[in-house]
Amino acid sequence: MRRIAGLVLALSLAAPVAAQEVPLRTTPEIIVRPPPTEAERHRELREFTRTVIRPPRLHQPVAKFAFPVCVTVLGLAPQDAAVIAERIRANAEALGVGADRSPTCVPTVRVAFMAPAAGPPESWLSSESPQLAHLAGYQKERVLGEAGPVRAWNRIAVRDALGNAFRPQLGDQQRFPTYTEIQPLSASDPIVTTEITGAAVLISREAAQGFTLGQLADYATLRVLLGTGAVEGDAPAPTMLTLFTAPAPPAELTDFDKAMVRELYDASFAASARRVYNDIARAAVASERSGAGGKQAP
């Protein structure tokens, strides 16, 4: 008995001591952060604008339409196409671009809804497509590299300070383009200006299901009036450009969207891209501070 008792005692001494139970913390940790200052918000929206509006090449101004747009919509029932076209015209007029309502105007804005028979968006266009023949190499890369159910592009004309066509001419080596020398009217005049002379948007008809005609028209408005691509990731401001990516996209153009178009078209053709981005951010921040904010779909 003494041996058994001793063995039991030895085993009990050798057994590990049970860890003391620590009650789980049920209250989540809350970190309170102050809202960004106006300067911080301005900087955030300015950088976001730079990613939304494609920067020009060679320090050129940001391209925009110089004349009211003539709109045509294809690939939908006539009544639906008419509603979208009219909404794009109304947006263009309200945002300072202008719209040509003549029934005989030559379309400068084309929005096409692609039927399933056209195949996936990746098959709509190639580097050899005649629709893209007027684009520079880097512009084709942008169009063909876009993911998702939309492909969009702008036809850009480069002009001198007087509005005359400004085309590259081959140099003596026939390798690098050189430009005819333009004498500016003064030190503040631009050497070149850039103008959107036409824009096109192709949208998958299947992907458009479930959205209102107003949402589709507002999305197309931004893609044709601005040289912009789709927004990827979380947007720091509500924008209709997230229509096909956000779980709850806006119901209509947001204040940030309107600021982008208004400030670009209010600026002179000589305005630098930096100034345009700053003006857009300033207007967007002012709208937020006034309590208007960007409208979101319920």
Beta bridge partners of 270: none
Amino acid 193: pLDDT: 81
Phi/psi zone of residue 203: left (φ > 0), alpha (ψ -120 to 50 degrees), beta? beta
Q: DSSP letters along 225-287, please?
A: HS-B----S--SS--GGGTTT-SS--SS--HHHHHHHHHHHHS-TT--HHHHHHHHHHHHHHH
Amino acid 152: pLDDT: 95
Amino acid 191: pLDDT: 63
User: Pick from 219, 199, 258: which is nearest to 72 by CA?
Assistant: 199
Residue 214 to residues 101, 219, 278: CA-CA distances in angstroms?
19, 9, 29
**Pair of tokens at residue 116:** 């399933």
Amino acid 173: pLDDT: 39
Amino acid 129: pLDDT: 93
Mean pLDDT by 10 residues, the chain (298 residues): 49 48 61 78 94 78 94 98 98 97 96 96 93 86 91 87 58 39 45 87 97 98 91 88 93 96 92 92 92 46
Amino acid at residue number 42: H
Q: DSSP letters along 142-210, please?
A: HHHT--SSEEEEEEEEEE-TTS-B--EEE-TTSSSEEE-----SSTTS-S-EEEEEEEEEEEEHHHHTT
Amino acid 25: pLDDT: 57
Burial class (CB in 10 A: 0-12, 13-18, 19+), 18: exposed
